[in-house]
Amino acid sequence: MDRRLVTIERHIAEQQQQFPEATGEFSRLLRDLTLALRIIARDVRRAGLTDLLGSTRVVNIHGEEVRKLDELAHDVIFRAMDHGGHLCVMASEEAEGLVHIPANYRRGKYVMVFDPLDGSSNIDANITIGTIFSIYRRLDESLDTPGTVEDILQPGYRQVCAGYAVYGSSTQLVYTTGLGVDVFTFDPTIGEFLLSHPKVRIPPRGSIYSVNEGSFALWDERLQQYVTYLKTPSPDGRRPYSLRYVGTAVADVHRTLFYGGIFMYPASRSAPRGKLRLIYEVNPLAKIITEAGGRASDGTGNILDITPVDIHQRTPVFMGSAEDVTEVEQFLQGIHSFQQCADVESV
Ligand code: AHG
Ligand code: MN
Ligand code: MN
């Protein structure tokens, strides 16, 4: 066990030393973001209490309605990131168009996209939720004009940083700048994110699949075959897999990162492009999984190679252990098939 006391600030500074040309601007951007995540973690931990107190705090100090936690999280991130001079534009699940830097603040060369509160339908049941973010360089770094939609619509392989916060039994921050995936656990007694799991690697194959199987009847027949295959006992005992599904992408992907297996949000007759948004949910999570040695596919190719055409576009996604993702691709492309009656293997 590494006995060093590595705060996220120390980690960011040490990583910066590996980039000789670094100016420290990126480090300051990350520091501002970790402040926002600390504040959201605090608000998430009090969400139930806020609800209880909601009847007496109907109007907040700005005279506005007490808003949903995801809108609150959006506001916290905006106010933490709008003035640092590092960003030229942002995009958020909670904003239809571009989120501009106020004219009275200096603009920088980075772009940030984020899902301020992922899994918000789980809040009222006190189930794990998260925040997802990723950072790009703007397309033309010589400009100091407001960022454009083209700066947002970059393919995922161009992310310079990707990560998420997961508000579970503890609050953890997981991020990568391309030097591996590091996990920090928040210690509320000292208000610090401490490095708890350096350079996490995903197992090459797992034994868990994660999908909303309630939509089984609406899936492509090849995907139905794949999931039926996972549930059919095999002589080597590798199958059946277990099913785990939280319904918060951050939580399901975080478990997949540590335990292996596959997370899927596929297309279906009711969701022809799936449900998850490419830019601020799938790409950051795909970058983390890929950096940890896993794979992220839309069923035909690498998620990170997709060039987006719309801020809120959706994509089917299959991500996790490399061997599991390759296997589902082989089913979806008709290379593998499985007829339960004919192929059922005696256990
Ligand atoms: P968000 O709360 O940001 O809208 O995201 C919710 C998403 C994602 O977190 C999760 O994987 C998915 O919704 C669950 O959808 P289903 O309830 O359709 O399974
Ligand atoms: Mn989400
Ligand atoms: Mn959300």
The reported pLDDT for the residue numbered 60 is 40
Q: Regarding beta strands 208-210 and 242-243, do their DSSP bridges make them parallel or antiparallel, or are they unpaired?
A: parallel
Residues 138 and 215 in one domain: no
Residue 320 host element (H or E): strand 317-320
Sequence-ordered list of residues with C-beta below 8 angstroms from that of 84, at least 6 positions apart, any chain: 28, 29, 32, 108
Domain stops at, among 169, 197, 225: 197
Question: Strand (E) positions, 64-207?
Answer: 87-92, 99-100, 110-118, 129-137, 161-167, 171-176, 181-187, 192-197
CB 300 within 8 A of CB 333: yes
Pocket-testing residue among 71, 115, 118, ligand 1, by greatest number of atoms within 8 A of Cβ: 118
249 C-alpha to ligand 2 centroid (Å): 7
CA distance 135 to 30: 10
The CATH number covering residue 92 comes to 3.30.540.10
203 in a domain, yes or no?
Answer: no
The CATH number covering residue 259 comes to 3.40.190.80
Q: What percent of the chain has pLDDT over 90?
A: 77
The reported pLDDT for the residue numbered 62 is 36
The mean per-residue pLDDT over the stretch 158-187 comes to 96
Residue 214 clears pLDDT 70, i.e. is over it: yes
Residue 56 clears pLDDT 60, i.e. is over it: no
Q: How confident is the model at residue 341 (pLDDT cuts 50, 70, 90)?
A: low
Three-state DSSP state, 115: strand
Pocket-testing residue among 248, 250, 255, ligand 1, by greatest number of atoms within 8 A of Cβ: 248
CA distance 259 to 257: 6
Does ligand 1 have an atom closer than 6 angstroms to the CB of 212? yes
Residue 89 clears pLDDT 90, i.e. is over it: yes
Query: b/e per residue, 53-84, with b = 16+ CB within 10 A?
Result: eeeeeeeeeeeeebeebbbbbbbbbbebbbeb
Residues 127 and 50 in one domain: yes
Atom of ligand 1 nearest to the CA of 118: 3
Nearest CA to ligand 1 atom 15: 247
Residues 185 and 215 in one domain: no
Residues 255 and 118 in one domain: no
Residue 319 clears pLDDT 80, i.e. is over it: yes
160 in a domain, yes or no?
Answer: yes
In total, how many domains does the chain have?
2
173 in a domain, yes or no?
Answer: yes
Domain that holds residue 162: 8-197
The reported pLDDT for the residue numbered 3 is 65
The reported pLDDT for the residue numbered 52 is 32
Residue 272 clears pLDDT 60, i.e. is over it: yes
The reported pLDDT for the residue numbered 1 is 55
Does ligand 1 have an atom closer than 6 angstroms to the CB of 118? yes
Residues 185 and 230 in one domain: no
The reported pLDDT for the residue numbered 93 is 93
Pocket-testing residue among 218, 265, 277, ligand 1, by greatest number of atoms within 8 A of Cβ: 265
Domain stops at, among 174, 197, 220: 197
Alpha carbon dihedral 6, 7, 10, 13, in 10-degree steps, equals: 120
DSSP count for the chain of H helices, then E strands: 10, 13
272 in a domain, yes or no?
Answer: yes
Q: What percent of the chain has pLDDT over 70?
A: 92
CA distance 268 to 217: 9
Q: How confident is the model at residue 24 (pLDDT cuts 50, 70, 90)?
A: confident
Question: What integer best gives the mean pLDDT of the chain?
Answer: 90
Residues 256 and 278 in one domain: yes
The mean per-residue pLDDT over the stretch 42-64 comes to 56
CB 266 within 8 A of CB 219: yes
Nearest CA to ligand 1 atom 14: 247
The reported pLDDT for the residue numbered 338 is 85
Domain stops at, among 168, 197, 226: 197
